[in-house]
């Protein structure tokens, strides 16, 4: 199984005194040269007076953007501790038991505008850079990363099931190959996760609550035995959660329960869709 996650928007800085970034230790060292290029360019852009506008964030995030100028020397921590958004909290990546943590290290990749991809144990500093940003030299980051990620991830995903919890911005950087290559390298089974809410018999796609639900599914896939190896295994894992409360809405206090999980076929070369229905 290969489990693809988006980064959290907010990131928790490592404790003062922690060792700094060592690019050579990150997953897929073939990406090191591109990571170095972006670190240098990001530092330059982040030092400009218009840095927040250039990086597409609000002026209130100026302090986070300023951290981008010292990423080489800033304290670093495992990615599972730096990424602390809704999805990561629901998955519990930072507190997995030993067997699940080993599975996560082998199967989870977080997509990043700065690093390309990182594994949960990769030590990184807190930074601010979205995949949808364009930098003066590198250009649009999804385009910048696309050829390099295809080179390393096509081989990693071959013959495996890819569970995709990313948003569209990060999907643009790499799409699993679902047809055999010319050299007969096997394709991947690509499963995107979509979350719906049923109200008065009508189903609509949800956004914020979807992050939490995807996180619950991710945590379940990492902890359960045996490991999912096909799209049907992923569906079975999701169906094991039917009847579970996925989250409680803030304000109303209403529980959102998973009532249904379905696996739908997609377009040729596209993903199958795992639909998780909340009510």
One digit per residue, the tens of pLDDT, for the chain of length 279 reads 999 999 999 899 999 999 999 999 999 999 999 999 999 999 999 999 999 999 999 999 999 999 999 999 999 999 999 999 999 999 999 999 999 999 999 999 999 999 999 999 999 999 999 999 999 999 999 999 999 999 999 999 999 999 999 999 999 999 999 998 777 789 999 999 999 999 999 999 987 789 999 999 999 999 999 999 999 999 999 999 999 999 887 777 889 999 999 999 988 889 999 999 999
Name the 3-class secondary structure at 236: helix
Residues whose CB falls within 8 Å of the CB of residue 190, separated by 6 or more in sequence, listed in order: 162, 164, 175, 176, 178, 270, 271, 272
Q: Which residues are registered as beta bridge partners of 140?
A: 134
Query: What is the full DSSP assignment across 69-103?
Result: GGTTTSB-EEHHHHB-SHHHHHHTGGG--HHHHHH
**Residue 104 — φ and ψ, nearest 5°?**
-60, -45
> What pLDDT score was predicted for residue 213?
96
Q: What is the pTM of this model?
A: 0.96
> What pLDDT score was predicted for residue 90?
96
Q: pLDDT digits over 97-130, tens only? A: 999 999 999 999 999 999 999 999 999 999 999 9
For residue 93, count CB atoms less than 10 angstroms from its CB and return exposed for 0-12, middle for 13-18, buried for 19 or more: buried
> What pLDDT score was predicted for residue 142?
98
> What pLDDT score was predicted for residue 267?
87
Residue 261's alpha-carbon distances to 200, 213, 224, 239, 264, in angstroms, are 18, 12, 17, 6, 10
Alpha helices in the chain (DSSP H): 32-46, 51-54, 62-67, 79-82, 86-91, 98-107, 141-157, 168-171, 208-223, 231-239
């Amino acid at each position: 199984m290969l489990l693809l996650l988006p980064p959290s928007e907010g990131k928790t800085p490592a404790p003062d005194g922690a060792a700094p970034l060592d690019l050579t230790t990150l997953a897929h060292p073939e990406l090191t040269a591109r990571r170095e290029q972006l670190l240098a360019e990001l530092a330059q852009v982040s030092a400009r007076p218009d840095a927040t506008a250039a990086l597409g964030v609000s002026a209130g995030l100026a302090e986070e953007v300023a951290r981008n100028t010292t990423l080489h020397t800033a304290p670093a921590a495992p990615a599972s501790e730096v990424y602390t958004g809704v999805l990561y909290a629901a998955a519990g990546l930072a507190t997995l038991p030993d067997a699940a943590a080993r599975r996560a290290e082998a199967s989870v990749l977080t997509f990043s505008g700065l690093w390309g991809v990182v594994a949960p144990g990769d030590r990184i500093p807190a930074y601010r850079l979205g995949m949808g940003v364009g930098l003066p030299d590198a250009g649009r980051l999804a385009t910048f990363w696309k050829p390099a990620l295809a080179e390393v991830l096509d081989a990693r995903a071959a013959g495996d099931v890819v569970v995709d919890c990313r948003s569209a911005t990060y999907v643009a950087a790499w799409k699993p190959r679902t047809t055999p290559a010319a050299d007969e390298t096997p394709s991947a089974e690509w499963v995107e996760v979509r979350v719906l809410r049923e109200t008065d018999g009508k189903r609509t796609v949800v956004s914020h609550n979807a992050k939490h639900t995807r996180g619950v599914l991710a945590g379940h896939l990492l902890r359960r035995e045996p490991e999912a190896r096909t799209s049907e295994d992923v569906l079975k894992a999701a169906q094991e959660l039917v009847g579970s409360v996925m989250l409680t809405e803030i304000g109303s206090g209403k529980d959102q329960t998973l009532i249904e999980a379905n696996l739908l076929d997609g377009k040729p070369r596209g993903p199958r869709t795992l639909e998780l229905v909340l009510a």
